[in-house]
Amino acid sequence: MTCADPVANSDQTILDYLFRPMGVDGVYARTRRYEDVVDALQSLISRHRPDEAVVFRFPPVMSLRQLEKQGYLNSFPQLLGCVCALHGTEADVAAAVNRAKEGEDWTRGATSAGLVLSPAACYPVYPIAAENGPVPEEGLTFDVAADCFRHEPSKDLDRLQSFRMREFVRIGAPAQIVVFREQWMKIAESIAESLRLPFVFDRASDPFFGRIGVLMAANQIEQALKFELLIPVRADSAPTACMSFNYHREHFGKTWELVDQQGELAHSGCVAFGIDRLALALFAMHGLNVEEWPGDVQEILRLK
């Protein structure tokens, strides 16, 4: 029997079947049953990879300086996690350890390791692209992925603090980015259909910080810079954004001096797949036993 009713699979049932708690909301150990679907989704997306795409798999951390340089602290400081470590002499480190033994907060002695937890998979690719000089006429395409972190603790299984993001990134002339985004919205639609996941597209905005952020978000919506593909994961709440289609205009071009052959600033865009949300949507929609999913869905995912 297949389960077409997402209500039947409450967060608690899914948690019990597919994850193990790790002591913090939004951070879970994933079981084999779940990871097999994650692997299958990654492979399905790889089969759609443009031939010319250059592939990078990034670690879960990136340079703090690079993130600062692109203005992340002005836009989303509330989401950022940074890596701190105990620096200094052996005596300094020992003093911090002793504070911990006395029940004090040893992390107060820790300072930045120059790293942040990557909040999106595509951020490290722009400085790498800029290293190769002007962008060629045909533009550049990348396939990137990373474990991402956003400080949004929640008990909802579609709001993780640590989640996998896969992206295709395009750098080039404005028209190239627009075409890329349109093409990917069509491909995403056919992927969702083939997985029998109900969806809607909507204009969206990022959770910009503070009062200025309200204006930035309104501007993003007005200029249609972000679309999302939303899938119902729970019957009692709004559908969840499982993929996003973003046009950054010249933001990263300006930050990294990415220019075309004529010296004009390059534009960029990305399509992001929230791998954990897509996997969750599949289980919520088709049931907890993959063997009972519709045959065509299992076939598309090569799970049988």
Please, what is the minimum distance in Å from the beta carbon of residue 17 to Zn ion? 31
Nearer to ligand 5GP, 260 or 276 (CB): 276
Please, what is the minimum distance in Å from the beta carbon of residue 146 to ligand 5GP? 11
CB 269 within 8 A of CB 251: no
For Zn ion, the binding residues in 78-117 under the rule CB under 5 A are none
The rounded Cα 288 to chain-centroid distance in angstroms is 24
User: Amino acid identity, residue 279?
Assistant: A
The stretch among 43-51, 174-182, 194-202, 266-274 that binds Zn ion (CB under 5 A) is: 266-274
Interface residue with ligand 5GP among 151, 159, 196, 249 (CB under 6 A) is 159
Q: Using the rule CB under 6 A, is 277 a contact of ligand 5GP?
A: yes
Interface residue with Zn ion among 37, 80, 229, 270 (CB under 5 A) is 270
For ligand 5GP, the binding residues in 161-200 under the rule CB under 6 A are 163, 165
- Other beta carbons within 10 angstroms of residue 3's beta carbon come to 17
Q: Using the rule CB under 5 A, is 146 a contact of Zn ion?
A: no
163: partner contacted, choices ligand 5GP, Zn ion, none (Cβ within 5-8 A by kind) = ligand 5GP
Please, what is the minimum distance in Å from the beta carbon of residue 238 to ligand 5GP? 14
242: partner contacted, choices Zn ion, ligand 5GP, none (Cβ within 5-8 A by kind) = ligand 5GP
SS in 3 state form for the chain?
A: CCCCCHHHCCHHHHHHHHEEEEEECCEEEECHHHHHHHHHHHHHHHHCCCCCCEEEECCCEEEHHHHHHCCHHHHCHHHCCEEEECCCCHHHHHHHHHHHHCCCCHHHHCEEEEEEECCCCCCCHHHHHHHCCCCCCCCEEEEEEEEEECCCCCCCCCCCCEEEEEEEEEEECHHHHHHHHHHHHHHHHHHHHHCCCCCEEEECCCCCCHHHHHHHHHHHHHCCCEEEEEECCCCCCCCEEEEEEEEEECHHHHHHCCECCCCCECEEEEEEEEHHHHHHHHHHHHCCCHHHCCHHHHHHCCCC
Interface residue with ligand 5GP among 14, 40, 79, 160 (CB under 6 A) is 160
The stretch among 6-14, 159-167, 210-218, 257-265 that binds ligand 5GP (CB under 6 A) is: 159-167
CB 117 within 8 A of CB 83: yes
Nearer to ligand 5GP, 206 or 264 (CB): 206
276: partner contacted, choices Zn ion, ligand 5GP, none (Cβ within 5-8 A by kind) = ligand 5GP
Q: Could you identify the residue written with the tokens 């709004």?
A: 238
- The site string for Zn ion over 118-137 (x = CB under 5 A, - otherwise) reads ----x---------------
The Cα–Cα gap between 155 and 165 comes to: 20
Q: Using the rule CB under 6 A, is 80 a contact of ligand 5GP?
A: no
The stretch among 2-10, 60-68, 270-278, 293-301 that binds ligand 5GP (CB under 6 A) is: 270-278
Nearer to ligand 5GP, 96 or 148 (CB): 148
The rounded Cα 9 to chain-centroid distance in angstroms is 24
Q: Using the rule CB under 6 A, is 241 a contact of ligand 5GP?
A: yes
Nearer to ligand 5GP, 67 or 243 (CB): 243
**Binding-site ranges for ligand 5GP (CB under 6 A):** 120, 150, 152, 158-160, 163, 165, 228, 241-244, 272, 274, 276-277
